[in-house]
Each structure stands twice: as C-alpha cells, then as structure tokens.
Amino acid sequence: MEQLKYILAIESSCDDTGAAVLCNDKVLSNVVAKQEIHELYGGVIPELASRAHQQNIVPVVEVALQKAGIQKTDLSAITFTQGPGLMGSLLVGGSFAKSLSMALDIPLIAVNHMHAHILAHFIDEEGFDKPTFPFLAMTISGGHTQIVKVNSFVDMEILGETTDDAVGEAYDKTAKILGFPYPGGPLIDKHAQNGNPKAYAFTKPKVDGLNFSFSGLKTQILYFIQKEVQKNPDFIKENIDDICASVQNIIIKILMDKIKLAVEQTGITQIAIGGGVSANSGIRKALKETETKYGWKTFIPKFEYTTDNAAMIGIVGYHKFRLGIFSDDEVVSKARLEF
C-alpha cells in the first residue's frame, strides 16, 4: 500500500493567496484569500497584490493545516508556484515556502503555474474522471491561451498559444466596454445565457496553425459598440443579453475551431480544459457537446480548481515528489517561466 504523504501547497501568482494540504492525490483543504481591493481599480495592481499576500499568507497556511487536521511536523514536502505571474506576488509565496521547508528540513518543490492548471485533472475527486496520457489540454485564462500536448506528468509540449492577448483579456475588456465591474467575464457569461448568439456578427481572426489572437476581436467589439451607441445612447442597456451572447459565441467558435484542428493534427481525442475561463458555462457546454458530435472524451475540472488555487499546485508537487524531482534553496521566482 502507498505510503501517505502530506504536501503543503502555496499559490501566490496573482491576487489570490492560496494554501492547500494534500494527502497523496486527495485534497484535505484548499483555502483562498481573495483580494477585494483591486475591484476599485478595475484590474490587479501588482504592488497592492504583493502587500496583501504578505498579510494573508500566514493565516491562510494556518487555516489550511487546521482544516486538514494535521500539524506542520506531519508534512512531507512544501510546494509553491515559481511562476509565471506577478513578480512581487510570487516572491512572497516563494520566500515563505523556502523558509518553511528549511525550518522543517523537508523537500521544496517548485511548480509551473501553467502545468498546475493542466494537472488539476489528476486530483482524486469523486465523480471526476482523470485523462490518460497522451491528451490535449486547452488552458484558457486571463493571462494565457494555450493548446498543449500532455505526454506525462513532466512531459508537455505547447502546440499553439496566443500571439497577443489571452481569451480572458478579451472577456475583461469587453466587460469594461459594457460598463461591468471587474472581473466582468462571469457577468458576460450570465447575460449570454439569455441572449441570441447570432444577433450580431463578429469575424474570426485569421491566425495560422494552432495559434490564437484576440487583440483584433477586442478592437472589433469596441468599434461596434461605439458605432451603435452613437446611433442609440441606450444601445448597451437595451441589448445587453444579445451583445454578450454574440461575443461569447465568437469566442467559443475561435476556441473550438482550434481544438478541432489540434485533434486532426494529432489524432488525440481526449481533451481537457483548465484555467479561470474554463469556468465559463458556454465553453463547458460547447466542449461537452463534442462527445456526441465527434466521439471525443472531454474533461472539465471541478469549479474550484479552475481559478487560481493551491490544490492544483499541490497535485503537481505530489507527482514531482513521487518522481523524486525536488528544488534546492537557490530556486528563484520568475515572472516569465519557460513552459
């Protein structure tokens, strides 16, 4: 029987401070302290984020250990987000993890945040299947849009990614144009459910291969709204559901077309999505429909593992621990981390 290993995971790549405790691949606790301050500014302010992490990290780790029902001395390893992310935020989590691993004299494991979004599917969760290797992963978030071929826990290769803005950025900017508070992506999704997705036509950007581009779409939406508002100042208010449904429709088309192309090119029909935007109901529905349409097998993570959280850092940490892949205390946090 496999020996029980307790892993403490720390996630601090952006504006949420997360700590989780895993027993092997099972999550015992997953605590997130959200930072409300950024809502006032309509986006994340890096300096404020790192200060809030400093205030939150000790209580968040304490609560995670309490909820898991273990002591610090029971831990087998500490794992943390090395990057990519906001430098100041990453440094808080990295410094804390290093100090604690030294104090407890247990292994330290650095994790790539993007690998964690993909491997969140391997958390042992009732009612959720795990993909088998190789599979295709589409990571969609505020900062990233990638299609990745996943060969093993430690062997992944990017097949396509955004050449400019990420899909989450397209949602956030559209939300801002429509006057929604930050973060506005979930509000677009909510309104889209009541609207006509074919009310307004937007064109898909022409991008070679499996790469993406969303900056042109953002500009297209901005000009369209400005033009319509000039004709009718109440255009947004009167047509909000249809606008949101049409925007969501074009984004889903862009994502699904690229996934179809990736399946054609690789012959792999297991598709997993991850990242904050994978919480979007329209994208989840479109992906699920491919199971009956094309015979694919799809994997959608549990809602709490889509946005930034420490449990996904912990699952990567567990598999690296199992494989004996550790970091030394010279490891440095990196805002941009090679995939």
CB of 308 within 8 A of CB of 5? no
- Asked whether residue 117 is marked as a ligand-binding residue, the answer is yes
HSE at residue 35, side-chain half, CA atoms within 13 A, is 29
- Asked whether residue 139 is marked as a ligand-binding residue, the answer is yes
- Asked whether residue 280 is marked as a ligand-binding residue, the answer is yes
Q: Under 8 Å CB-to-CB from 289, ≥6 apart: which residues?
A: none
In order, the DSSP letters of 32-98 are EE--GGGGGTTS--HHHHHHHHHHHHHHHHHHHHHHHT--GGG-SEEEEEEESS-HHHHHHHHHHHH
- Asked whether residue 328 is marked as a ligand-binding residue, the answer is no
Nearest 5°: the CA angle 308, 310, 315 is: 115
- Asked whether residue 314 is marked as a ligand-binding residue, the answer is no
- Asked whether residue 142 is marked as a ligand-binding residue, the answer is yes
Q: Which residues pair with 31 in a beta bridge?
A: 19
d(CA 83, CA 76): 22
- Asked whether residue 191 is marked as a ligand-binding residue, the answer is no
Kindly list the distances between the CA atom of residue 79 and the CA atoms of 93, 96, 98, 155, 291, in Å, as whole numbers in the listed order: 10, 11, 9, 19, 35
- Asked whether residue 234 is marked as a ligand-binding residue, the answer is no
Binding site, annotated residues: 113, 117, 139-143, 172, 185, 189, 280, 308
Binding site, annotated residues for substrate: 139-143, 172, 185, 189, 280
Binding site, annotated residues for Fe cation: 113, 117, 308
